[in-house]
Amino acid sequence: MNWMHILFMCEIYVILSLSANLVSGYTGLLSFANAAFYGLGAYVTTLVMKNFGFNYFPSLLIAVTFNILISLIITFFSIRLKDLYFTLATLAFQVIVFSVLYNWEKVTGGSYGISEIPAVNIFGHQLNGTKEYAMLGGGFALLVISFFNFFQRTPFVRLLECIRDRELGAVSLGKNISYYKSICNSVAAAFIAIAGSLFAVYNSYIDATSFTLNESILIVNMILIGGTGNLIGPIFGACFYVMLPELTRLIPIDSTQGASLQMIIYSLILILVVRFKPNGIFGKFKFQ
């Protein structure tokens, strides 16, 4: 059992679920486009690093900027839609991004993916080995967690909670709701780009099948199981999801059955949580 690998995956999913929580937990918009931004972050970092010979950090910056621009475009189309229809618009966006990544063979390599992604270089030190990547990922995860920890106490988040709980109230206070929602979407997309770039440089190979609709569904499930609207819920959900395969590995069955057994357990927990504890295990906000 490779603990460092598990730690690294935990860090990536913590970043992903905290960013998804910013959109779904604080603003109350259920977005299925998280894996699209995850994939865009990974692909943009990779392409910039491979084609222009940039180092990791400048390419990460470019990926973050790119994701913010894309999120502004999708926000422009979807921000006026209400709950289910916003979800559908983000789902459509997810499918569109996936099919572009999967089929635009000239740029993204299509179903073959991109291999031999260069390693991260920090001040002349080439990272190698899972442990050093886990430290890099840990640095970013701590950054994101401390950002959200700070963010929780700002007056801005209370405005977001107001939009989530009583949109009409926020309007009557003269707040521009679409503006705040689009800020949330952009910040989440920026953080998700970090997770995508980490995933790309760690595996040194990416292909589009890591960024399907199922991945988005998993991210949403993580925050719903853990609970939305606070810090501990999404972190718990992400760690739980990454740890679950290690638990089912103790049962002696073959790997296909093991994978489906995980998903059976996972979906049962999801159904039970939605049915009996709609605000998740640690959640603050009830999704209704």
Partner 1 sequence: MSYQILVYSITSALLLSLVAIGFNLIFNATKVFHLAHGAIYVSAVYAMYQFYNVFIQAFSRGFAVTLSIILSLLLISVIIVFVEYLVYRPLYQKKVNSAISLISSLGVYMLIVNLITFFFGNESISLNNNFKIVVSNEYFKLTEIELMQSIICVILIGTVILLSRTKLYTNIRAITDNYQVAEKFGINVQRTRVIALITGTILVGVAGIMKGYEMAIEPNMGLTIVLTASVAVIVGGVNSLKGTIIACFVIALIENYSVKFLSAQWKDLLTYTLLIGVLVFYKQGLISVKQRIETR
Least distance from C-beta 218 to partner 1, angstroms? 10
Q: Are 34 and 224 in contact (CB under 8 A)?
A: no
Q: How far apart are CA 126 and CA 132, in angstroms?
A: 10
Asked whether the CA dihedral 238, 82, 274, 96 is positive or negative, the reply is: negative
Q: Which residues bind partner 1 (CB under 8 A)?
A: 30, 77-78, 81-85, 87-89, 91-93, 95-96, 98-100, 102-103, 213, 217, 220-221, 224, 256-257, 259-261, 263-264, 266-268, 270-271, 274-275, 278, 287-288
Q: Supply 219's token pair.
A: 């991210």
Least distance from C-beta 227 to partner 1, angstroms? 13
Q: How far apart are CA 214 and CA 212, in angstroms?
A: 5
Least distance from C-beta 269 to partner 1, angstroms? 9
Q: Are 197 and 41 in contact (CB under 8 A)?
A: yes
Place of tokens 């718990």: 236
Least distance from C-beta 82 to partner 1, angstroms? 4
In whole angstroms, what separates CA 25 from the centre of its chain? 13
Nearer CB in complex with partner 1: 130/209: 209
Nearer CB in complex with partner 1: 45/221: 221
Asked whether the CA dihedral 245, 251, 255, 258 is positive or negative, the reply is: negative
Nearer CB in complex with partner 1: 132/167: 167
Nearer CB in complex with partner 1: 158/286: 286
Could you give phi then psi for residue 130, rounded to 5 degrees?
Answer: -65, -35
Nearer CB in complex with partner 1: 122/271: 271
Could you give phi then psi for residue 118, rounded to 5 degrees?
Answer: -60, 155
Cβ neighbors of 140 (< 8 A, separation 6 or more) are: 11, 15, 194, 198
Least distance from C-beta 42 to partner 1, angstroms? 20
Nearer CB in complex with partner 1: 11/215: 215
Least distance from C-beta 256 to partner 1, angstroms? 5
Q: Which amino acid is at 187?
A: V
